[in-house]
Structure 1
Amino acid sequence: MKINKISLKRLVFLIFFLFIFNAYFFSDIFKHIPVPVLNCYANPTATFACPIGTIQHFLVVNSFSFLTIGMILLVGFFIGRMTCGWACPFGFVQELINKIPLPHIRPPEWLRYGKYLFLLIPVVLLPIFWVDKSGYSVTYFCKICPSGALGAGIPQVLLHPEFKNLLGLQFVAKMSILAFIVIAVIFNNRFFCKYICPLGAMLGAANKVSMIQMKLDIDKCVKCNRCQSVCPTDIKIYEEPDSPECIRCMECVKVCPTKCISVGMKKF
């Protein structure tokens, strides 16, 4: 398959950030700082903190992470969900898995709302309201996060085999969820990003107001759907250029036969 310039550039960025976010030697300096991608804090090589884990942690201790929320708002305002397409390690892994040549399955569109439920319930509500007798809660989304299972669960068990027995059913459940996501991604690219990811839900909400925008010359568009055929999140850009599903990967820009898609700054 021929790799276009945007695909190659994005591949370089994804590999670069995969290294940066897992540069073990710098973890002592930066690991308390969240970045706008899913890369589990418990990963032995992780350089930074996961924003979703950080938000839950502060809610569990009845506090508020101004740094994390501020970072998400700032990134969202400038580039929207672009970090999902150009920097997220777990998104990158999903795209690699999806290269397996099997038929594509398209679930119902309403399932995309699932990520908002995951953001609301296990990330926000459960850590606040579901507490034990001593008044403590836990980071519920972290308990089921497949990114954490891949980046932290497996490496930690390989380094410390005794952890597997200590975690028991929780480890089995988490690995089962990861296996389901891997299988789902084979048939539907970025399945987790589209239907589950709470960080994608937060950043996607900023797509309509972010400074970086996908632009469409509707008069040139012939609705050939080539944009959808290369889109990791399976959207038709001509229906909603500032869709919260768009990860600003720009793959559609290169393949558009009429060159009606572009990237530019939002006019306020």
Structure 2
Amino acid sequence: MRFKIWLLRRAFQLISFFIFNALIFNKAIFYWNIKPSTLHLPVLVSINSPISAFYGVYDVIQVTASEGFFPLLSIAVILILGALIGRALCSWACPIGFIQEAILEIKGKITQVSFKTHRQALKLKFIILALTILISTTVGLSVHFNIWNSYREALGDFAKGPFFLFSPDGILFGSLPRLILLAITNKELEFINSFSLYLIAFKMFILGLFFVAIYKIPLFWCRYVCPIGALMGIFGKFSFLGLNRSLTKCEKCPECVKACPMQIKILDYPWGKFNHQECILCFRCVDACKNKALTPKFP
């Protein structure tokens, strides 16, 4: 019987999910003494989460840039991992990717988006990437040179991390755990004023939209919204890890295309090794191919 990569990937996703959120074991279950790591990776793990043992590199970039420093280490992480494995962590380690795939398994089928709509929507995450980097950089310049103070004040919570308020990782692993932990410990929710209530309601609305979107469209967040996915995809197009399509084994049946949650037209790409900036290297296509025409390839 042929080994299915998805079994290994599911195990890796599940382990990663608990490792990234390991501080929950300090607070509500075993009262361990796990310390947060300084290592940050290109996955969506909120820097504001009370249960995160690791931080997402994009959160670190926003905070570092907004404080007037150049995020050299974060950029090095992206360059190295992007060159080696492209967007593989999106489908193998990212908690938000794991949640989206769990929803996809519940739904049981991959919904196709019209090619025109799909192609246009792919631009959205690059726009989000550019805007958030622009805001963080200009805030950083404001801090460093002590200028544009009114601009920084007008941004308010957006100044430290413009993407924090909209990212589901910040809500799922930041806002919600904090409220739950306060409720468990019976502490007064003194920080909640009228503004905070509106902010919490806004975040819950965003979270609701997120779940509706990922149910309607497979991996909606990874496809169209995630800025770290956009950033890693730039390097993923040239990464060492890719896919190999065999000329002698491929019958050009559409099973690999049907299995792809990122809606990549695999059969349009040349024989041999190829990369695609939207490919998250989940290898669903490899598992779907009965003729073993598709295989992972490194380098």
TM-score, length of structure 2 as denominator length: 0.80
Distance change in 2, residues 1:219/1:5 (3 Å): closer
- In 2, Cα distance between equivalents of 1:128 and 1:77: 25
- In 2, Cα distance between equivalents of 1:76 and 1:134: 34
- Alpha-carbon contact 1:27-1:46 (below 8 Å) kept: no
The equivalent of 1:206 in structure 2 is 235
- In 1, Cα distance between equivalents of 2:192 and 2:266: 45
The equivalent of 1:255 in structure 2 is 288
- In 2, Cα distance between equivalents of 1:251 and 1:260: 13
Please give the root-mean-square deviation of Cα atoms over the aligned residues, in Å.
2.3
- Alpha-carbon contact 2:36-2:52 (below 8 Å) kept: no
- In 2, Cα distance between equivalents of 1:34 and 1:167: 29
Is the aligned partner of 1:97 residue 2:103?
A: yes
1:82, CA displacement in angstroms? 0.6
The superposition leaves residues 67-121 of structure 1 with CA deviations (integer Å, 9 ceiling, x where unpaired) of 1111111111111111111111110001112233377352512101111111111
Letter in 2 for 1:204: G
Unaligned regions of 5+ residues in structure 2, if any? 27-32, 140-147, 154-158, 184-188
The equivalent of 1:39 in structure 2 is 45
- In 1, Cα distance between equivalents of 2:263 and 2:281: 12
Letter in 2 for 1:15: L
Unaligned regions of 5+ residues in structure 1, if any? none
- Alpha-carbon contact 1:100-1:186 (below 8 Å) kept: no
The equivalent of 1:159 in structure 2 is 181
- Alpha-carbon contact 2:121-2:224 (below 8 Å) kept: yes
Is the aligned partner of 1:60 residue 2:69?
A: no
**Which of 251, 263, 270 in structure 2 is aligned with 1:234?**
263
Is the aligned partner of 1:129 residue 2:138?
A: yes
Letter in 1 for 2:241: I
- In 1, Cα distance between equivalents of 2:200 and 2:77: 31
The equivalent of 1:114 in structure 2 is 124
- In 2, Cα distance between equivalents of 1:254 and 1:29: 36
The equivalent of 2:82 in structure 1 is 76
The equivalent of 2:164 in structure 1 is 142
If you compute each CA radius of gyration, which structure gives the higher value, 1 or 2? 2
1:256, CA displacement in angstroms? 1.0
Provide the secondary structure at the position in 1 that maps to 2:297. strand
- Alpha-carbon contact 2:42-2:58 (below 8 Å) kept: no
Is the aligned partner of 1:181 residue 2:210?
A: yes
- Alpha-carbon contact 2:61-2:71 (below 8 Å) kept: yes
- In 1, Cα distance between equivalents of 2:265 and 2:216: 19
- Alpha-carbon contact 1:225-1:236 (below 8 Å) kept: no
Provide the secondary structure at the position in 1 that maps to 2:244. strand
